Amino acid sequence: TTWIVCDGPVDAIWIENLNTVLDDNKILTLANNDRIPMTDNCRIVFEVESLRNASPATVSRAGIIYVSTSDLGWAPLVESWLAQRLDLGMSRQNEVEVLRRSLELWLAHPPPDPGVAVDFFDWNSRNLKGVMSTNESILISN
């Protein structure tokens, strides 16, 4: 199976061009009218923040899975990153264990002198003024 992963905002123009791929025909029609058939084992995943610019035709062709940041949290992102560290080589096991313990201690428990904060994210929202709104996933990724 071949996976095509599109990560980013939905642009109204290019997403409309993918409608023919998303329907039963599975044929990509390019701007110059060239047609490229997609194989049966090809899958396309869109990871988007919103479907604001997608037409109803596009939305109706896609299976939508919504994952709330409050349901996901930061732990799966950290575990995924740590797994990638392990892929760099067998000698990384100690490094991953140290990082896992440190991140767990630092993120899941109150920081030193936290006041009423229950963890790093709570302390962060109470003590730092952000330029834009963020969630745990954004803070962890950056």
pLDDT tens sequence across 19-39: 888 888 888 887 788 898 988
Measure the CA–CA gap between 134 and 139, rounded to whole angstroms: 7
Global confidence as pTM: 0.53
More confident residue, 113 or 128: 128
Measure the CA–CA gap between 30 and 18, rounded to whole angstroms: 9
Closest CA to 3 of 39, 36, 28, 37: 39
